[in-house]
Structure 1
Amino acid sequence: MIKEACVENLQEAKKAEEQGADQVELCGRLDLDGLTPDFKLVEDALSELNLHVKVMVRSRGGDFVYTEEEIEEMISTIEQLKALGVKEIVLGALTGDNQLDIPAITKLAAAAIPMKVTFHKAIDELDDPVEGVRQLRAIPGITGVLTSGGKLTAKEGVSVINKMHAAAGSIQIIAAGKITNQNLLEMRQRLTTDAYHGKLIVGRLA
């Protein structure tokens, strides 16, 4: 089982490691559902932690529909994170009608090579997240999908998450959405995936 803690500073990341997290997703501005963190924080996390660090690539809050200029900005960010030694990033892009922006995702994933790429919870905006997983399988470099099955919580989205897992092939489905150290055992019993994400996945960090 993989426990992934969502953190926005070094103190939280260190505490997550102490409390048994297997990896962290490093974000800035969790009040905006996560933006690209400060590069200094990324450097410090890579040098001071002994677990896998994933880094959010998201240039602004709001929706996941990006202009060409914003995509280019994200590619620049990806190149800088690669230079820092980041091994995995988290990103997502949609069209105005809530479909996957396949050209943008393909371009971003190509820029990330050889880093791994997790597609974030933007997939939950789709009418059919299961079909979204099938589409992501065709994009080289996409190795994970973070999802609550199109619902507000993983508990509500159990059936869809399990269908996404069945459709995922080699892509890792990471269940998210109010999963905590208090309900993790229950969710493990109900979900077929073995990767779980949350701010409280290993308990309180502040």
Structure 2
Amino acid sequence: MNRILLEVIATTPEDAHIAEAAGADRIELICAQGEGGLTPSIGMVEQIVSQIAIPVHVMVRPHSRSFTYDGEELECMLRDIRYFANSGVTALVLGVLDANGHIDEVALQRMIDVASEQRDGIQITFHRAFDEVIDLQQSIQVLGQYSSITRILTSGGRPSVLEAAAAFPELIRVAEQHSLSLIAGAGLTLDTLADFVRQTGVREVHLGSAVRQQGNIDLPLDAERIRHARQILDACVEPN
């Protein structure tokens, strides 16, 4: 069975343990979920990486004002990257744009260089900064030039991924041509998950409030909701 991967947002050690026990394939570790996710603390990363076995992808994002960063902000991100790349995380989650809505390749290359200097083979997910670019397909081609970038977290350029369902199959096709996987995130619920996966053919999904208690972004993860999501995804896979 070709498993559809379930990524769950975690903001605390409790979240991380719940996600692992309930069947999530990996966590995206962040703070400030209400701001779209910011860089978590070093102590949080250390503790969670030492305690759970599933992959930990950690956010590197210093503020939520934009995805364009000045020199000092970039230096702060590079410091975080140096540390996290040596902390045992599986992947870094980052993204950077220029003022014109294009991927800032100069800054991105610096981030990749620093990450690879610390640990060869560390994976990078380009986060939802991607959804603010001028041209999604052209940006996929740009990101495909970097071998350490393995995934793009995206809502298809729309506020909710559900609004981009019709466009997703073509985005997936272009991404696969460049050895990239798309993670569908933002706006998915347990009620819409099955139809979205079947319509788009996406192989990785990213859930936040959908798997929290009462569907509330401010409450802890809900193990039953995660198990339900896992069951839905498994039911979407055709037996071999």
Q: Is the 8 A contact 1:150 1:160 kept in 2?
A: no
Relative distance call for 1:160 and 1:108 in structure 2 (3 A) is farther
Name the residue aligned to 2:159.
152
What amino acid maps onto 1:170 in structure 2?
S
Name the amino acid aligned to 2:127: H
Give the TM-score normalised by structure 1: 0.94
CA distance in 2, matches of 1:203, 1:18: 14
2:173 aligned residue: 166
1:103 aligns with 2:106: yes
Equivalent residues of 1:144, 1:174 under 8 A apart: yes
Which of 123, 138, 149 aligns to 2:145? It is 138
* 1:181 and 2:201 are equivalent in the alignment: no
Indicate the structure (1 or 2) with the bigger Cα radius of gyration: 2
Structure 2 unmatched runs, 5+: 214-220, 223-240
User: Which residue pairs with 1:24 in the alignment?
Assistant: 27
Between the aligned partners of 2:168 and 2:45, the Cα distance in structure 1 is 30
Query: Is residue 176–residue 196 contact of structure 1 (8 Å, CA) maintained in 2?
Result: yes
Q: 1:35 aligns with which of 28, 32, 38?
A: 38
Please name the residue that 1:196 is paired with: 205
AA aligned to 1:179 is: L
**Could you tell me whether the CA contact under 8 Å between 1:36 and 1:59 is conserved in 2?**
yes
Matched-pair contact (CA < 8 Å) for 1:147–1:161: no
Match of 2:136, as an amino acid? P
Map of 1:68-87 to 2, 5 A cutoff?
A: 68-87=71-90
Q: How far does residue 33 in structure 1 lie from its aligned partner after superposition?
A: 0.9
Q: What root-mean-square deviation, in Å, do the aligned CA atoms of Structure 1 and Structure 2 show?
A: 1.5
Q: TM-score, normalised by structure 2?
A: 0.81
Q: Is this contact kept in 2: 1:5–1:201, CA < 8 A?
A: no
Amino acid at match of 2:6: K
Tell me if the contact between 1:43 and 1:84 (Cα under 8 Å) persists in the aligned partners: yes
Q: Tell me, what secondary structure is at the counterpart of 1:3?
A: strand
Give CA-to-partner distance per residue, 1:54-104, whole Å, 9 cap, x none.
000011121000112221211111111122122201000001111111111
Aligned residues: 206
Question: Deviations along 1:124-155, whole A, 9 cap, x unmatched?
Answer: 00122121111100123111100000011111
- The alpha carbon displacement at 1:203 in A equals 5.4
Contact 1:130 1:160 in 2 (8 A): no
